[in-house]
A and B are shown apart, each in its own frame.
Chain A
Amino acid sequence: MKRFITALVFTAFAFPFVTWGQDVVRRETGAPPTRESGNTIETRNLSGQVEQPAFQGDEELRKKVEEITSRLDAMDETVKELGNDRDALKRIKISGYLQVNFEKSEKQTGLATDPYDTRDYIKGRFRLRRSRIKVQYDGKTTTMVVQGDYSNAGVTLKDAYLEFAEPWLNVFSLRFGVFNRPVFEVETSSSVRESPERSRVIQTLYPGERDLGAMLTVTPMEGLNLQLAAFNNTFKGTFSQQSPNFGREPLYMMGRLTKSFAFGDLGVDLGVHGRIGNVRANTYRVLESDRPTNAAPDSVSVRVGDAIPRNWFGVEAQLYYDFLGGMKLIGEYIIGSDVDELSSSGNVIRKRHFAGFYAMLVKNIGTDFQIALKYDSYNPNATIGEDVINDPNELRVDTFGVGLLNYTFPNVRLTLWYDVVSTKTNERILTEDPKDNLLTFRAQYKF
Chain B
Amino acid sequence: MSRSFVTNALSFLAILIFAAGFGAVEKITVKGSDTMVILAQRWAERYMAKHPNVSIQVTGGGSGTGISALINGSTDICNSSRPMKQSELKKLKERFGTLGVEIPCAKDGLSIYLNESNPVENLTIDQIRAIYTARVTNWKEVGGKDAKIVLYSRENNSGTYVYFKDNVLKGADYAPSCQNLPGTAAVVNAVAKDPNGIGYGGAAYGKGIKEAKVNGYAPTKENIANGKYPITRYLYMYLRNKPTGEIKRYIDWILGPEGQAIVSEVGYFPIR
Contacts and interface: CB of A to CB of B under 8 A. Distances in A.
Nearest to A328: B97
Kindly name the residue among B16, B23, B179 whose own CB sees the greatest number of chain A CB atoms within 10 A. B16
B17 interface: yes
B93 interface: yes
Contacts of B94: 188, 192
B171 A170 contact: yes
Contacts of A320: 93, 97-99
A80 B181 CA distance: 10
A29 to B, nearest CB: 39
A367 B29 CA distance: 14
A289 B169 CA distance: 59
A192 B71 CA distance: 12
A322 B242 contact: yes
Interface stretch (A114-122, A146-154, A299-307, A357-365): A357-365
A87 B98 CA distance: 33
A206 interface: no
B21 A265 contact: no
A167 interface: yes
Contacts of B9: 402
Given A83-B179, A87-B180, A365 B16 contact: yes
A222 interface: yes
B97 A326 contact: yes
Nearest to B93: A320
A363 B17 contact: yes
Interface in B1-56: 1, 9, 13, 16-17, 19-21, 23
B257 interface: no
Interface string B155-167: 0100000000000
A38 interface: no
Contacts of B181: 83
Contacts of B156: 90
Contact of B86 (A87, A222, A322): A222
B57 interface: no
Contact of A366 (B20, B101, B179, B180): B20
A7 interface: no
A167 B169 CA distance: 12
B23 A366 contact: yes
Nearest to A192: B94
A35 interface: no
Interface string B174-212: 000001110000000000000000000000000000000
B73 A407 contact: yes
Contacts of B73: 367-368, 407
Interface residues of B, number: 31
B242 A265 contact: yes
Given A325-B241, A326-B240, A371 B13 contact: yes
A327 interface: yes
A321 B86 contact: no
A90 B156 CA distance: 10
A76 to B, nearest CB: 9
A324 interface: yes
B172 interface: yes
A85 B13 CA distance: 52
Contacts of B95: 192
B16 A141 contact: no
Contact of A83 (B13, B72, B180, B240): B180
B265 interface: no
Given A366-B23, A410-B74, A324 B240 contact: no
Contacts of A410: 72, 74
A149 to B, nearest CB: 22
A295 interface: no
B253 interface: no
A160 B17 CA distance: 42
Contacts of B23: 366
Interface in A111-142: 140-141
B180 A167 contact: no
A112 B98 CA distance: 34
Interface of A: 80, 83, 87, 90, 140-141, 167, 170, 188, 192, 222-223, 262, 265-267, 269, 318, 320-322, 324-328, 362-369, 371, 400, 402, 407, 410, 420
30 contacts: A83-B179, A83-B180, A90-B156, A170-B171, A188-B94, A192-B95, A262-B99, A266-B99, A267-B93, A267-B98, A267-B99, A269-B93, A318-B93, A320-B97, A320-B98, A321-B97, A321-B98, A322-B98, A322-B99, A322-B101, A322-B241, A324-B20, A325-B241, A328-B97, A364-B20, A364-B96, A366-B20, A371-B16, A410-B72, A410-B74
Interface of B: 1, 9, 13, 16-17, 19-21, 23, 72-74, 86, 93-99, 101, 156, 171-173, 179-181, 240-242
Given A265-B98, A363-B97, 12 more contacts: A83-B179, A87-B180, A167-B171, A192-B95, A265-B99, A269-B93, A320-B99, A321-B98, A326-B240, A363-B13, A365-B16, A369-B16
